[in-house]
């Protein structure tokens, strides 16, 4: 079945016979047992809830995984995933990551005894030099946040397999509509469901999608123990969001391509980071491994004053954190998503006081361009 059809018909809810076209919201904490030692399949909503279960089935199908687990946020998903590791385990992560992941690794995982190497522009040639006997996993985001670097997933997955490492890929930016890391060899796919899967800037959610039943079993145990599960109503909102994922991704990408080209022509814009521009260094890898480029653009303006003025002058584009919704958002990574990242580390990556990030929304792109033009003038 085509992915756009799966977005709409990916659930298989048979637990009710009302003819309801949508999955019901099972707003219950617990479930009655039919008899001693018997279960309807549901015991307690931390472990499983029928609404959440349908959402998980949809996401597992979209990513081609054996299972998907739905969490209360993307960070909750990554935090639970880190419980697969123990003191002394070593993880190789790309240096350019969502700021929250960097904060989790530095301030919590390291305290718990996990050791990290952060690799700038990780690829199959340089990753080998970081592998040691304690290495257990490679964690990447592609395209990365906010510098839009693309990692060759197939090449990295070969290295991971040869060395018996888990390959973990944060696929938030492209979504399963444009990219399926499991097909390219990943073992675990991470999503902030808050972003494109929800699509409307109205709820938080997170996912782990796993390649194997074995990983599912391990993570389900941690999941029910820790309890960072997605509520029934929020699960329902994400099911609804996913129904329009295909059309949103197509249109937001179309808008992003128009905007990236426009930005390139602006004298006050010095650099544009968007993998859909054929001048982007990773354009060829993007074409090879993904079906699209997404709708996230970072760009550097000529001065800090221009950046601040733009953030203060925009009307239609909203100066806010987050991404992936129908509203165009403009973000200042230095002060927002990456505020907790060490300054030298941050600036080395290019996240400086002139860098802005756009999550291109679903508005008419002409209106967005008019807004950005007046803000930039």
Ligand X SMILES: *Cc1c(COP(=O)(O)O)cnc(C)c1O
Active site positions, annotated:
46, 98, 170, 195
Q: Which residue in the block uniquely carries the two structure tokens 């993998």?
A: 275
Contacts of 23 (CB under 8 A, 6+ apart): 11, 13, 50, 51, 54, 55, 236, 239
User: Nearest distance from residue 268's CB to ligand X, in Å?
Assistant: 27
Looking at the Cβ atoms of 11 and 337, the one nearer to ligand X is 337
To the nearest whole angstrom, how small is the minimum distance from the Cβ of residue 361 to ligand X?
15
Q: Please report the beta strands in the chain, taking only residues with DSSP state E, as ranges in sequence order.
A: 67-71, 90-94, 115-119, 135-141, 166-170, 188-192, 206-210, 269-273, 296-301, 318-319, 329-331, 355-359
Instruction: Give the DSSP H or E segment for 8.
Output: helix 3-9
Question: Closest CB to ligand X among 94 and 157?
Answer: 94
Residue nearest to ligand X (CB): 74
Instruction: Give CA–CA dist 45/232, Å, rounded.
Output: 9
Rank residues 11 and 192 by Cβ distance to ligand X and give the closer one.
192
Nearer to ligand X, 62 or 269 (CB): 62
Q: Which residues bind ligand X (CB under 6 A)?
A: 73-75, 98, 100-101, 141, 145, 170, 172, 192, 194-195, 204, 206
- Burial of residue 30 (number of CB atoms within 10 Å: 0-12, 13-18, 19+): exposed
Find the shortest distance in angstroms from Cβ 118 to ligand X: 15
3-state SS class at 270: strand
Distance spanning both ends of the chain, measured CA to CA:
48
């Amino acid at each position: 079945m085509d992915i756009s059809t799966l977005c709409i018909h990916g659930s298989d809810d048979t637990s009710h016979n009302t003819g309801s076209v949508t999955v019901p919201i099972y707003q219950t904490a617990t479930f009655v047992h039919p008899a001693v030692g018997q279960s309807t399949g549901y015991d307690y909503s931390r472990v499983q809830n029928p609404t959440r279960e349908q959402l998980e089935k949809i996401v597992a199908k979209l990513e081609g995984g054996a299972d998907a687990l739905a969490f209360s946020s993307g960070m909750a998903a990554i935090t639970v995933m880190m419980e697969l590791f123990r003191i002394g385990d070593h993880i190789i992560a790309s240096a350019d990551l969502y700021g929250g992941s960097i904060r989790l690794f530095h301030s919590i995982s390291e305290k718990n005894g996990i050791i990290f190497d952060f690799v700038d522009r990780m690829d199959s040639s340089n990753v080998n030099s970081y592998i040691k006997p304690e290495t257990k996993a490679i964690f990447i985001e592609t395209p990365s946040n906010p510098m839009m670097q693309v990692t060759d997933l197939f090449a990295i997955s070969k290295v991971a397999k040869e060395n018996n490492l888990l390959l973990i890929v944060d696929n938030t930016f492209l979504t399963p509509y444009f990219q399926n890391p499991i097909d390219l060899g990943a073992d675990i796919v991470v999503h902030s469901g808050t972003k494109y899967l929800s699509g409307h800037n109205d709820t938080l959610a997170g996912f782990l999608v796993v390649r194997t039943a074995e990983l599912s079993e391990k993570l389900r145990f941690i999941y029910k123990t820790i309890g960072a599960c997605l509520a029934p109503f929020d699960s329902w909102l994400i099911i609804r969001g996913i129904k329009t994922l295909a059309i949103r991704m197509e249109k937001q990408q179309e808008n992003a391509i128009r905007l990236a080209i426009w930005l390139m022509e602006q004298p006050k814009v010095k650099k544009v980071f968007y993998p859909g521009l054929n001048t982007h260094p990773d354009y060829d890898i993007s074409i090879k491994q993904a079906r699209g480029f997404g709708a996230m653009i970072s760009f550097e303006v000529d001065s800090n004053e221009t950046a601040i003025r733009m953030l203060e002058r925009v009307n239609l584009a909203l100066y806010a954190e987050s991404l992936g919704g129908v509203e165009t958002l403009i973000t200042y990574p230095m002060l927002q998503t990456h505020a907790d990242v060490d300054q030298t580390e941050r600036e080395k990556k290019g996240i400086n006081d002139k860098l802005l990030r756009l999550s291109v929304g679903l508005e008419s792109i002409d209106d967005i361009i008019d807004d950005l033009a007046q803000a930039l003038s």
